[in-house]
Chain A
Amino acid sequence: AQSVTQLGSHVSVSEGALVLLRCNYSSSVPPYLFWYVQYPNQGLQLLLKYTSAATLVKGINGFEAEFKKSETSFHLTKPSAHMSDAAEYFCAVRGGNDYKLSFGAGTTVTVRA
Chain B
Amino acid sequence: DADVTQTPRNRITKTGKRIMLECSQTKGHDRMYWYRQDPGLGLRLIYYSFDVKDINKGEISDGYSVSRQAQAKFSLSLESAIPNQTALYFCATSVGAGVTDTQYFGPGTRLTVL
Residues of chain A whose beta carbon lies under 8 Å from any beta carbon of chain B: 6, 9, 32, 34, 36, 42-46, 49, 51-52, 90, 92, 94, 96-97, 99-101, 103-106
Contacts and interface: CB of A to CB of B under 8 A. Distances in A.
Contact of B90 (A32, A43, A99): A43
B105 A43 contact: yes
Interface string B39-55: 01111110010100000
Contacts of A44: 43, 90, 92, 105
Contacts of A51: 99-100
A99 B50 contact: yes
Interface residues of B, number: 27
A99 B82 CA distance: 30
- Chain B at the A interface: mostly helix, strand, loop or mixed? strand
Interface in B44-92: 44-45, 48, 50, 58, 90, 92
A43 B108 contact: yes
B16 interface: no
Contacts of B90: 43-44
Nearest to A101: B103
Interface in B1-40: 4, 31, 33, 35, 40
Contacts of B33: 100-101
B101 A103 contact: no
Nearest to A32: B99
A46 B105 CA distance: 9
Given A44-B105, A99-B50, A101-B103, 8 more contacts: A9-B40, A34-B102, A43-B4, A43-B106, A46-B103, A49-B102, A99-B94, A101-B33
